[in-house]
């Protein structure tokens, strides 16, 4: 009854039975500037990854999903491949350690910060909440063993870009430490969890979708103005705060564009949110983030992204082949919302609206105040606790 009372107090939210969600990530493939046929490559999945709801969101992929494409083609036929991969990992670790030594601070975060509480665990490492005695504030720390990363250069890239790009709608970098072969990232603490943890429990109204999307667009407009591509926009990487804040996180796959290199070709991202031009291995730019945000908008309305019932490989084929993703609830969407989705999800990235243009879209004028965000978080947590209690009681009865 308590859950129903909370829902009644929050008219913007409707309960939705939770469903298990899996979201594996695409393996990295080498930037070579080549274009291929429109049929996407057969990308090997390294196995499903849980659609996590940890404090800092799930890392885009575990280390072994970033092997280059030619490695995948050799794994089944080369008996000595494990040894070769181990040697490569060790060499990368030495290079990464040398690069990181010039970026990170000296010292041990376990002596600087106090009151450590583990709040997340995954292939990327362990996430903690802790207190900074110097300020009395709460921070988030992500501890990542470098020996698990076959592409440690992505970590170096992540730190450099986070240090240079600070914004109210981004989980901002605070500090970093290298202790042995463990890298510690210290970042803003966001206490409401991921957008995923809310949308799998509640059905979000359009006015709230507009409010959350608007905040994400502010972050993307900032990043894109500085020629930074996030490359892994999804609900797992959008954090909500009990103060109503909405922040992008997980810059492990981000890329910096330059005048000399204005596009990228690497096949990276999460299968159900990835833009078609990435799967076709064509040169792409910041517009891939706009496609992904359009998928997140659908995800907020329908509880999951399009093609989620398909395997990752089949989903990639459908995304590359179809011009517009299918909708399960089109009749529930207003004309303005449909127009906004079409502005984000044009298969031609040159026609797709930019973040700056989308911030002027009439759909965003329907946005409610961000005070609804903490209410949604409370409702989602209450539903989750109720479901856990029912499962516990059922197990005891059995």
Name the binding residues for ATP.
142
Nearest CA among 271, 171, 274 for reference residue 215: 171
- In sequence order, which residues have a C-beta less than 8 Å from that of residue 38 and are 6 or more positions away? 280, 320, 321
Q: Tokens 């209450």 — which residue?
A: 382
- Contact in structure between 235 and 323 (CB atoms under 8 Å): no
195: its two tokens: 């957008």
- Contact in structure between 122 and 52 (CB atoms under 8 Å): yes
Strand, helix or coil at 246?
strand
Compute the distance between CA of residue 214 and CA of residue 234 in angstroms, rounded to an integer.
15
Q: Counting every residue, how long is the chain?
A: 398
Strand 246-248 to strand 255-256: parallel, antiparallel, or no bridges (unpaired)?
Answer: unpaired
Q: Tokens 């240079």 — which residue?
A: 164
Kindly tell me the sign of the dihedral angle through the C-alpha atoms of 318, 320, 323, 328. Answer: positive
Residue ranges of the binding site:
142
Compute the distance between CA of residue 335 and CA of residue 236 in angstroms, rounded to an integer.
27
- Contact in structure between 278 and 269 (CB atoms under 8 Å): yes
Please give the positions annotated as active site: 232
């Amino acid at each position: 009854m308590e859950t129903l009372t909370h829902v009644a107090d929050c008219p913007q939210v409707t309960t939705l039975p939770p469903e298990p969600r899996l979201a594996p990530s695409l393996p990295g493939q080498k930037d070579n500037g080549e274009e291929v046929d429109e049929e996407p490559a057969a990308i090997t999945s390294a196995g499903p990854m849980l659609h996590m709801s940890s404090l800092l969101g799930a890392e885009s992929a575990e280390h072994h999903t970033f092997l280059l494409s030619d490695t995948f083609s050799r794994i089944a036929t080369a008996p000595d491949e494990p040894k070769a991969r181990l040697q490569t990992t060790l060499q990368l670790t030495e290079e990464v350690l040398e690069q990181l030594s010039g970026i990170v601070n000296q010292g041990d975060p376990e002596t600087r910060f106090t009151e450590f509480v583990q709040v997340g665990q995954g292939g990327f490492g362990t996430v903690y909440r802790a207190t900074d005695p110097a300020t009395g504030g709460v921070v988030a720390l992500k501890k990542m063993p470098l020996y698990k990363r076959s592409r440690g250069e992505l970590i170096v890239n992540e730190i450099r870009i986070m240090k240079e790009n600070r914004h109210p709608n981004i989980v901002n970098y605070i500090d970093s430490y290298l202790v042995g072969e463990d890298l510690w990232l210290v970042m803003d603490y966001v206490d409401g969890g991921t957008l995923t943890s809310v949308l799998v429990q509640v059905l979000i109204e359009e006015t709230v979708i507009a409010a959350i999307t608007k905040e994400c667009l502010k972050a993307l407009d900032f990043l894109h103005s500085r020629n930074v591509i996030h490359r892994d926009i999804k609900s797992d990487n959008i954090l909500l705060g009990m103060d109503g804040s909405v922040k992008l996180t997980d810059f492990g796959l981000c890329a910096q564009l330059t005048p000399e290199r204005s596009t990228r070709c690497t096949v990276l991202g999460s299968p159900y949110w990835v833009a078609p031009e990435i799967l076709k291995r064509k040169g792409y730019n910041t517009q891939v983030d706009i496609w992904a945000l359009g998928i997140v908008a659908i995800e907020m309305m329908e509880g999951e992204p399009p093609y989620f019932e398909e395997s990752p490989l089949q989903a990639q084929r459908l995304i590359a082949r179809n011009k517009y993703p299918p909708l399960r609830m089109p009749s529930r969407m207003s004309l303005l919302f449909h127009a906004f989705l079409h502005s984000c999800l044009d298969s031609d990235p040159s026609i797709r609206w930019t973040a700056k243009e989308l911030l002027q879209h009439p759909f965003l004028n329907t946005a409610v105040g961000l005070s609804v965000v903490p209410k949604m978080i409370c409702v989602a947590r209450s539903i989750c606790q109720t479901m856990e209690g029912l499962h516990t009681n059922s197990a005891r009865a059995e």
